[in-house]
A and B are shown apart, each in its own frame.
Chain A
Amino acid sequence: MLPAQIYDALLDIVGSAYLRIEPSQLVPYSYDATPLFQHLPDAVVFPGSTDEVARILRLCAQTNTKIVPRGNGSGLSGGAVPIEGGIVLEMNRLHALDEIDTANLTATFGPGLVTSQLSKAVEAQGLFYPPDPGSVVISSLGGNVAECAGGMRGLKYGVTKDYVLGLEAVLPNGEVIRTGGKNTKDVAGYDLTKLLIGSEGTLAVITEITVKLLPKPAAKQTAMALFDTLSQAAAAVAAIIAGRILPATLEFLDQPTLKAVEAYTHAGLPTDVAALLLIEQDGAAVVVQEEMERIAAICRQQGAREVRLARDAQEGEALMSARRATLPALSRLRPTTILEDATVPRAQLATMVERINAIAAHHGVMISTFGHAGDGNLHPTALTDARNPEEIEAVEQAFDDIFRTALQLGGTITGEHGVGLAKAAYMEVRFGKAAIEVMKGIKRAFDPQGILNPGKMFAAQTPRRVVVNHDP
């Protein structure tokens, strides 16, 4: 519960229509899409302008009130969970697409705009915004920037940070700053744009975003390849890239995932193969055709049991549907689905998947792995039940082993979901004390009071996941 004068001041700023304080109104803002983390906020506000955001933050600084920015709550690291209570700052009213600049190839919009809506709007003008996190239909672009969202096109096109040119943001003291702009080249000063991307709402609240756009590729083609061993699939990935081809998409499904997908879709996928690769290339039609044929040949050389090359867009869609069905197929197996994103250099792909399978067997838990083979960005996914504390403990231990293995292989604890609450305990293992101190210094420079998205990124101790938090 906040002091009465804070509710009163919030009422002055946003009005009664955009302030929520009743328990039933707060429950839907006590979580995001990350399993097992939950905590009630004391208020939810829906600001309608940068000015309102600034006034709210000034109020928070004056009264030392904690505040957590939130997009649409589709994040997978607990970044939007108000773990220490306080105010949830729901940004989805700021969803205007202000401009598509076809001369400079940029788009400028509010942080509440949904990713797929931006994609659709720019594609209608023959342009292309490549980052496509799995939650594009609902994720907000503010959330994408805060978490540096990735997606299936990382290998060829990069991730969110490769597209953001400029930001408007409000500092925890209420000051409004502008970083970057529409310039392709801009080396003036420290790059605050890049610093804010992936800062997980711990440094400032993003209120406007400018991204660069690409011309929309003219053609696209899809192929699927099936392998009897993981090492063959990994060798095929390496050989494609060594062959100087960068596919737009290079996705991987392991055998447990494949079995779940086939049980769910009955699409006729063989379940006795060790791995499936889905490959998409885009670009000029002639180039796409030629490269896809080379990719198919490389897969066969590496021992693929079967390679299917889609003849048209419809067949391509049918092949990609196996990848799209992974999450639905897996999440139906058990009540709780924990989707992680341990990442390794792509040459370590096969080793990592084999180690994950061994770790899952050792702890007696169900883990399926799929992901972005071209990036080495894997999604080991545990199927479990939050109501069974012993099983959850075993899952935690398995993930602990998985993250440590990824680090041993020269990888990282999170490829695209962010640190938030879920990975905070591993930050020091990942970076060592000195680097963490630099990061904490940056945090202090932006937010000396520590009011903005507290409890994220830096763990006070090394906690495991907690099953639902309530203050007494």
Chain B
Amino acid sequence: MTHEVFSSQHPPLAELAEQLAYDDLMNCMRCGFCLPACPTYAVTGDDFDSPRGRISLAKAVADGQLSPDDPGFAQAFDRCIGCLACQEVCPSGVQYNRIFEQARAFIEARRTHGPVRRLAFSGLFLHQGLMRTAAALMRFYQKSGLQALVRKSGVLHVMGRLGALEPLLPKLAAPQRMASGQWLLPSSDRAAHAVAQVQRIDLRNRRAIALSAPARKNRVSSTATAVEAAQDSERANACLRVGLFGGCIMDAALSVTNVNTARLLQYAGVAVINVRGQACCGALHAHNGDLQHARELAKRNIAAFEQAEVDLIVSNAGGCGAQFFEYPELLQDEPLWHARACRFLEKVVDVTELLDRLDNLEGLRPIEAVVTYQDSCHLRNVMGVTEAPRKLIQSVPGVRFVELPEAEKCCGSGGIYNVTQYDFSMQVLDRKLAFLKQTQADYLLTTNPGCQLQLAYVAKRSGLPLKVMHIVDFLAQALPEER
């Protein structure tokens, strides 16, 4: 049976195929190796909720077998968390990320009804208390330009969910912040060690150029105006220069993590700068179908980090770091921007990866505790970082590390997935909870703010005596007193 529901308003098939990444769809062999990796398939056992099933739906739309406005098509992709674990295990190298983003963009573009209505009836403005508890997240939404997107995606009617997340958000008063555009400098002996380490090691091919770290005596800082800043910059030239990507949710809700990231890096011997003019990475935009804003944000970040003349760009959120990997493709239609995006990407490194490679954290104070770790899907599946966080945790004296069963499987946070698909997200989380209980850990560490909030929520909801933290905040506890 076919379901010919096409009318003149539907684009022709060739156009659909183009919009839905048809070449990528064709590469799927339908072997099903992605099924055991998929967190949503684990919940329902229905191929509709598997990567293979989602690909078959996109292909059915592109082939004209299913209407592009079939609500099931949108539902299938809305339910995908975007963890990309499937991409890691795919034997034929299907670029699921591209399929996912293009399908989401396609679906969003066709959702013409309702945003204003949803906003008006959302009840958000009727609940002052909710507004206050959601303030930190709201600030992040506004700052990131996500607000329009969120309204469009109909998230506001589930705004009530944010109440549940309230206890997890840090106090809004007097957040610790790292000043923008100023260098945080390491001690000279540690700096020398760091430079030596970096020259000795080969992080990855894509970063080989950045890591050759040539002397920069002749470089003139174009941004520093104050004499002091110029002097700092001069001193920083002797070190490995690292630009910190703050991220919007980190900056709004978890800014202490950024401060701790900088302190750890400084301790490990590199000069850190909170780069001026940076913006949200654009991951949430891209994953929710707003590619235009994702491109704008990418350009702002590329320009900002070029300006800062850093050797490396350090991310402390797996989701943001992974989004940087998308920049070259996102900007592929603009040759100059594409080239700049490639150079930007060559410098990207996760904080755990860099700290591990620097191997310069001796002198940490002991923490007597049982600690476990939940992978950030994007850190693991896109950036390929799995061992560094585990090694860092075990480098703290006194720590007993326990591996969390299925640590590689998504917690169901997925950016704003836990808000847009609350019920489904909670089912994914229930499975995680059972494994967490087994570990009997005191600390659960993560490398992404979304995961941190989601896991803190499950710990609180279930009454588990578990401290959920970003790995950087945990390590910072072990830093010796300031000298």
Contact = CB atoms under 8 A, between A and B. Distances in A.
A246 to B, nearest CB: 29
Nearest to A88: B47
A23 B72 contact: yes
Contact of A24 (B31, B33, B45, B72): B72
B227 interface: no
A25 interface: yes
B256 interface: no
B31 A74 contact: yes
B387 interface: no
A24 B32 contact: no
Contacts of A327: 91-92
Majority SS at the chain B contact face: loop
Given A24-B48, A85-B1, A138-B35, A31 B30 contact: yes
Contacts of A85: 1
B53 interface: yes
Interface in A324-382: 327-328, 331-332, 335-337
B428 interface: no
A95 B136 CA distance: 45
B76 interface: yes
B23 interface: yes
Contacts of A385: 26
Nearest to A73: B32
Interface string B19-54: 000010011011111011000000001111010110
B65 A28 contact: no
Interface string B50-76: 101100110010010110001111011
Nearest to B63: A468
B483 interface: no
Interface in B387-446: none
A385 B27 CA distance: 9
B93 interface: yes
Interface stretch (A32-40, A161-169, A433-441, A445-453): A32-40
A328 B93 CA distance: 7
B287 to A, nearest CB: 21
Contacts of A35: 29-30
Interface in A51-98: 72-74, 85, 92-93
A470 interface: yes
Contacts, number: 101
A328 B53 CA distance: 20
Interface residues of A, number: 41
A28 B93 contact: no
A399 interface: no
Interface in A1-57: 1, 20, 22-25, 27-33, 35, 40, 42, 46
Contacts of B9: none
B2 interface: yes
Nearest to B71: A24
Nearest to B58: A27
Contacts of B66: 23-24, 27
Contacts of B63: 468
A24 B69 CA distance: 11
Contacts of B65: 27, 40, 470
B92 A332 contact: yes
B31 A25 contact: no
B3 interface: yes
Majority SS at the chain A contact face: loop
A22 B1 CA distance: 12
Contacts of B73: 24
A191 B374 CA distance: 50
Nearest to B25: A335
A387 interface: yes
Contacts of B60: 27
Given A328-B92, A472-B2, A33 B32 contact: yes
Contacts of A40: 1-2, 65
Nearest to B92: A331
A23 B56 contact: no
Contacts of A471: 1-2
Contact of A28 (B27, B57, B70): B57
Given A24-B76, A40-B1, A92 B30 contact: no
Nearest to A31: B30
B31 A135 contact: yes
A28 B53 contact: yes
A22 B71 CA distance: 10
B92 A470 contact: no
Contacts of A425: none
A23 B69 CA distance: 12
A1 B1 contact: yes
A38 to B, nearest CB: 9
A331 B91 contact: yes
A54 to B, nearest CB: 21
A42 B27 CA distance: 27
A330 to B, nearest CB: 9
Contacts of A23: 3, 66, 70, 72
Contact of A46 (B27, B30, B45, B50): B45
Nearest to B28: A335
Nearest to B67: A23
Given A24-B66, A28-B50, A331-B92, A72 B32 contact: yes
B17 to A, nearest CB: 10
- Name the residue among A23, A25, A30, A40 with the largest chain B CB count within 10 angstroms: A23
B109 to A, nearest CB: 19
B424 to A, nearest CB: 14
A335 B23 contact: yes
A311 to B, nearest CB: 24
Contacts of A30: 56
A27 B50 CA distance: 12
A386 B29 contact: no
A192 interface: no
A337 B30 contact: no
Contacts of B48: 20, 24-25, 28
A137 interface: yes
A114 interface: yes
A93 B72 CA distance: 22
Given A1-B1, A24-B66, A46-B45, A335 B36 contact: no
A7 B474 CA distance: 56
A325 to B, nearest CB: 9
A255 B472 CA distance: 49
Nearest to B3: A23
B91 A27 contact: no
B181 to A, nearest CB: 43
- Name the residue among B2, B29, B52, B73 with the largest chain A CB count within 10 angstroms: B29
A28 B52 CA distance: 8
Contact of A387 (B26, B32, B36, B91): B26
Given A27-B65, A328-B91, A328-B92, A135 B32 contact: yes
Interface string B309-343: 00000000000000000000000000000000000
B31 A27 contact: no
A336 B30 contact: no
Given A73-B32, A332-B92, A471-B2, A28 B56 contact: yes
Given A24-B57, A28-B47, A32-B30, A114 B75 contact: no
**Shortest Cβ-Cβ A-B pairs, 10 listed:** A24-B72, A28-B53, A28-B47, A331-B92, A328-B91, A335-B26, A74-B32, A138-B32, A23-B3, A33-B31
27 contacts: A22-B72, A23-B70, A24-B66, A24-B70, A24-B73, A24-B75, A24-B76, A25-B46, A27-B57, A27-B65, A27-B66, A28-B48, A28-B52, A28-B57, A33-B30, A33-B31, A35-B29, A40-B65, A72-B32, A73-B30, A85-B1, A92-B45, A93-B45, A331-B92, A337-B92, A470-B1, A472-B2
Given A335-B27, A337-B92, 7 more contacts: A22-B72, A24-B57, A29-B47, A33-B30, A35-B29, A74-B31, A138-B33
Interface of B: 1-3, 23, 26-27, 29-33, 35-36, 45-48, 50, 52-53, 56-57, 60, 63, 65-66, 70-73, 75-76, 91-93
